[in-house]
Amino acid sequence: AQTVTQSQPEMSVQEAETVTLSCTYDTSENNYYLFWYKQPPSRQMILVIRQEAYKQQNATENRFSVNFQKAAKSFSLKISDSQLGDTAMYFCAFMKRDLTTSGTYKYIFGTGTRLKVLA
């Protein structure tokens, strides 16, 4: 069974600094996707970034980038130039398609890292 581990329950960073959130996962699959979701105090789950496992190039979205190490099963999120609005819970998620149930997309989430950006 797939598992997703976020070993940092809480982190803090100074405004304008860079912070890296770690995520490791365990799977025997070769084709899958990885995601980072952000959950601000409003509770809404917001997609931050997505990575396809078959792509070697790391995904980037403005100030957000990932370091995807497929062999090591590691998927860390780097936030550059941190802003107060980045304060949130961040969830790493693994997704694969389950071909035994009509192709359902199955997602497994880590336990989250609570990030606080300090002024």
Partner 1 sequence: DAGITQSPRHKVTETGTPVTLRCHQTENHRYMYWYRQDPGHGLRLIHYSYGVKDTDKGEVSDGYSVSRSKTEDFLLTLESATSSQTSVYFCAISGGPTGIPLAKNIQYFGAGTRLSVL
Which residues contribute to the site for partner 1 (CB under 8 A)? 6, 33, 35, 37, 43-45, 47, 50, 91, 93, 95, 97, 101-107, 109-112
Smaller CB separation from partner 1, 10 or 81: 10
Neighbours of 21 (CB within 10 A): 23
How many Å apart are CA 5 and CA 49, to the nearest integer?
A: 17
Q: How many CA atoms lie within 13 A of 4 on its CB side?
A: 23
Rounded to the nearest whole angstrom, what is the least distance from the CB of residue 14 to partner 1 in the complex? Answer: 26
Smaller CB separation from partner 1, 11 or 95: 95
Non-local (6+) Cβ contacts of 26 within 8 A are 2, 3, 4, 5, 73
Rounded to the nearest whole angstrom, what is the least distance from the CB of residue 17 to partner 1 in the complex? Answer: 26
Rounded to the nearest whole angstrom, what is the least distance from the CB of residue 103 to partner 1 in the complex? Answer: 7
DSSP at 57: S
Rounded to the nearest whole angstrom, what is the least distance from the CB of residue 110 to partner 1 in the complex? Answer: 6
State the DSSP H helix or E strand holding residue 85, giving kind and residue range, or none if neither.
none
Smaller CB separation from partner 1, 49 or 117: 49
Smaller CB separation from partner 1, 13 or 53: 53
